[in-house]
Amino acid sequence: MSKTTTAKLWTYITECVRLLYWAYFKPYTLEHWLRDIHPELKPDINPFSKRAEFRTNPRLRHYARQVWWITALVPWLIVIIVAPIYTFISHEPFMWFISSISLVGWIIGLALATFPRQRLKIILLVVAGFLAALAYGSFDVAFGVALGVASGVALGVALGVALGVAFGVALGVAFGVAFGVASGVAWVLGVLRFYFWLPEFLWILLLYFVLSRHRDGGKWLGYLPPRFDEKIILPLPFMDRLIVEAYRENPDAARETIDYLINSTNQQKVAAQAMAGITIDSLNGCQTLGDIAEIPDQLNWIPSPPPKELGNALPQLLDISQDVKAAVAGTSSRQSELLNRPINALQNLQNSLAFERNPQLATNSRQITDKWLAILETAQRTLHQTAQQRQEIRQVYIAGNALDPETAKHRFKGRIDIFREIESLSLTDQPPVLLLYGGRRAGKTSALKYLPYKVDSTLVPLLVDLQGAASATTLPGLAENLATQIIEAARRLPRRLDLPYPKEIKTDPFIALQNWLGEIERTHPSKRFLLNLDEFERLSEVVDTTNSRAPLNFLRYVLQHRRQWILLFSGSHEVAELPSYWNDYLINTRTIRVSYLDNESARELILEPVENFPTIYTPEAVNEIIKLTRCQPYLVQLMCYEVIELLNRDIRENKRELEAICRDAKFRVSITDVQAVIPTVLERGDQYFRELWTSLQKSDRNFISRLSQGKTPTAQDQGIVKKLIRKEIVTPEGNALQIPLVQRFIKQVLEETNN
């Protein structure tokens, strides 16, 4: 035999041995490898069933032949190994003749299993086996031949390498050892694989307690038992702890090991435990504000949603660290203020840890929250002291999003009349449908968020943001979103609401919601529920998308049949501006207008946005802000925000020294400063101004264009004038825009258009 032939033979044998090893120890690797050969090929699929593709796929043909040889020869090897052990243990001679006859039949059957018309050949060969045995006068031999042939043909390689080998082992033992004992032992050894678990157990002990202590633990992760045996059934200790400890020195190796365990083994639970351990270890190791801020980048590889082993608290801590990161990235004057959100979140999390079901997780989370809270509060005090030393003014104004009571605290000013009207109307014997109407960013959503803190406990306001709910493309999706938001808003109730009828909400969503509302009424008979539907106009999008008015019919049902439920629609459109079908659902509506702040509330917002805010504005500056904004709350916040940014920028650049200090030794904002930030305000508020401009009809824009050019309204403009007065865009006299900043923006837009 030539060297080339010998080399090919050894290569072939090596490939077969590797295939056999994969089949028993690395089934996931085998699956990946087979998909590369053929997308439909799996370990338990007979490769000969795809014989038609052998010519075009040589790798498939090669694999099929290897399967046949392995399945044919392994039972012989098993018998050769088992025979002397059996003879030694039982002191009886091994039945070589019967076993050999059976195995010959097994090989014949395998050979025939690769040919077509298998049923006919099964019958013929079984009969032939019996006839041959009868000729020799031995029923045992007949049975051996018949069973061997029938089994070989019937199974063949249909079950692939893994089950073929398993059957070969069972076959060899069945004819060499007593069947009853062998099957029980085979189950314990074959299924639980105890004979491999014991050395793997000893190896992991050696890895954890000895080898990993002397060198970088990450280097030993490549020698974990799952690297060699992907299908470990019995648990092995310390694997997750070894990964956690290795992560401290070699994060890349630990992450690669976790990825391997998840995708290429059955050790997903170990991987999840390792992720939980790494997360706890990382969070507990934070010593400074910067350490907490780096957590999102360090643990951005944790999947979302995170494993259940992390519990409910640890994902919240990851969110809190993201807020800390945002605070650190903020300007020095705002960092102290931005830390309020994560501090509040930590305090709320501490209160909720009593409900954590896992005591160990609760203890770990409590240690982390205590440590983080101390770090954040210390950092906040230090930042505040530093700002005072640098004489910077703390940035407390919030321009943009609606004010949240948990973070904005006392920044919400005025609106007492609105709260009283909503409360009194909601608690009447027959409350009407309420429509909270006002322009964009007039403070409607902020008012609804503060409403639960401003009304009697008998009334339970439940805020639902229909802007988010309207993204649902199906009616069940919309109903689930509504229910979820109602549950979240009902935190003031003594007991938490449960999701309504999970099965029914999929099939008949709004009937399920109707029944759920009735159940809530019966559970809380002394309460009235004010369902606040913010951005209610978005329901029109749902009606158009689903071609169904079921959501509107549901709301009408609530209005007519649920006595404890009151509907409040909040939006920037009047009923007359909506599609005509809304008239059927908004009958007898009581409109509550959210207008600009009153003069007193606007001054309070400017001068005392938070407690102990320093006196920095001259009276002239306050008057100028009120004049430019017309007390529009968003614009007041935006003007003051930019004024503080200008003031602190000048302080940092030493542009304001003695001339910035008045007789009362406080920094002062002058009218010049207010006028200086107007261009910045127009730029930052571009979305608000542009949305206001584009929301107007063409005839409205033409009228405003003529008005800005100094032209007097004509008799034909009276209808437009009345509409724009009602929308609080032009003055009651109809000869100017109410908000000077809006007028400046429109003038700027018209100049750009003309140029």
Peptide bond preceding 305 in cis form (omega within 30 of 0): yes
Q: How far apart are CA 556 and CA 585, in angstroms?
A: 6
Q: In 3-state terms, the chain is what percent helix, strand and coil (to 5)? A: 70, 5, 25
What does the pLDDT look like over 290-322, one tens digit per residue?
A: 899 998 888 888 876 777 777 778 788 888 998
Structure tokens at 471: 């993204």
**345 has which bridge partners?**
none
Distances (CA, A) of 608 to 2, 402, 444, 600, 629: 97, 19, 21, 11, 17
Distances (CA, A) of 745 to 21, 623, 629, 673: 75, 20, 12, 19
What does the pLDDT look like over 87-142, one tens digit per residue?
A: 777 777 777 776 776 667 666 666 666 655 444 445 445 544 443 443 333 334 33
- Cβ atoms of 247 and 278 within 8 Å: the answer is yes
In this predicted structure, what is the pLDDT of residue 615?
A: 87
Mean pLDDT calculated for residue range 75-93: 75
Which residue is associated with the tokens 């605290």? 409
In this predicted structure, what is the pLDDT of residue 602?
A: 95
Mean pLDDT calculated for residue range 441-449: 92
User: pLDDT tier at 274 (50, 70, 90 boundaries)?
Assistant: very high
What does the pLDDT look like over 513-523, one tens digit per residue?
A: 888 888 888 88
What SS3 class is residue 135?
helix
In this predicted structure, what is the pLDDT of residue 9?
A: 85
**E strand segments, 276-420:** none
Q: Is 312 exposed, middle or buried (0-12, 13-18, 19+ CB in 10 A)?
A: middle
- Cβ atoms of 191 and 203 within 8 Å: the answer is no
User: pLDDT tier at 152 (50, 70, 90 boundaries)?
Assistant: very low
More confident residue, 472 or 272: 272
Residues 6+ apart with CB under 8 A from 7: none
Instruction: Using a pLDDT cut of 90, give the percent of the chain over it.
Output: 22
Q: Is 178 exposed, middle or buried (0-12, 13-18, 19+ CB in 10 A)?
A: exposed
Angle 663-664-666 from CA coordinates, rounded to 5° = 110
How many Å from the N-terminal Cα to the C-terminal Cα in the chain?
Answer: 92
Q: CA neighbours within 13 Å on the CB side: how many for 249? A: 13
Residues 6+ apart with CB under 8 A from 344: 406, 407
Q: Is 753 exposed, middle or buried (0-12, 13-18, 19+ CB in 10 A)?
A: exposed
pLDDT greater than 50 at residue 663: no
In this predicted structure, what is the pLDDT of residue 416?
A: 92
What does the pLDDT look like over 460-513, one tens digit per residue?
A: 999 999 887 777 778 888 888 888 888 888 876 655 666 666 777 788 888 888
In this predicted structure, what is the pLDDT of residue 605?
A: 95
Residues 6+ apart with CB under 8 A from 465: 445, 485, 534, 535
Structure tokens at 647: 């003031």
Of 161, 158, 228, which Cα lies nearest the Cα of 200? 228
In this predicted structure, what is the pLDDT of residue 573?
A: 83
What is the torsion angle, in degrees rounded to the nearest 10, for the CA atoms of residue 648, residue 652, residue 656 and residue 662? 60
In this predicted structure, what is the pLDDT of residue 135?
A: 37
What sign for the dihedral angle of Cα 55, 57, 60, 66? positive
pLDDT greater than 60 at residue 144: no
Q: How far apart are CA 367 and CA 382, in angstroms?
A: 23
Mean pLDDT calculated for residue range 685-705: 90
In this predicted structure, what is the pLDDT of residue 734?
A: 83
Mean pLDDT calculated for residue range 551-556: 89
What sign for the dihedral angle of Cα 529, 481, 322, 357? positive
Mean pLDDT calculated for residue range 369-378: 92
Residues 6+ apart with CB under 8 A from 178: none
pLDDT greater than 50 at residue 166: no
Task: Give the H/E segment covering residue 182.
Answer: helix 179-191
Q: Which of 58-67, 469-478, 554-563, 684-693 has the lowest mean pLDDT?
A: 469-478
In this predicted structure, what is the pLDDT of residue 566?
A: 93
Across the beta sheet with 528-534, the strand order is 459-465, 528-534, 565-571, 433-437, 589-593
Q: How far apart are CA 518 and CA 565, in angstroms?
A: 10
More confident residue, 630 or 695: 630
In this predicted structure, what is the pLDDT of residue 153?
A: 38
What does the pLDDT look like over 181-222, one tens digit per residue?
A: 444 555 455 566 777 888 888 988 888 888 777 666 678 888
What does the pLDDT look like over 569-581, one tens digit per residue?
A: 999 888 778 888 8
Mean pLDDT calculated for residue range 230-251: 88
Please state the pTM of the whole predicted model. Answer: 0.59
- Alpha helices, H only, 415-499: 416-426, 444-450, 466-469, 475-489
More confident residue, 368 or 330: 368
In this predicted structure, what is the pLDDT of residue 123?
A: 45
- Other C-beta atoms closer than 10 Å to the C-beta of 199 total 11
pLDDT greater than 60 at residue 422: yes
Instruction: Using a pLDDT cut of 70, give the percent of the chain over it.
Output: 81
- Mean pLDDT of all residues belonging to the chain: 80
In this predicted structure, what is the pLDDT of residue 594?
A: 93
Q: How far apart are CA 552 and CA 581, in angstroms?
A: 10
In this predicted structure, what is the pLDDT of residue 532?
A: 94
Q: How far apart are CA 298 and CA 144, in angstroms?
A: 64
Q: How far apart are CA 43 and CA 19, in angstroms?
A: 10
CA 310 to chain centre: 14
Q: How far apart are CA 75 and CA 102, in angstroms?
A: 10
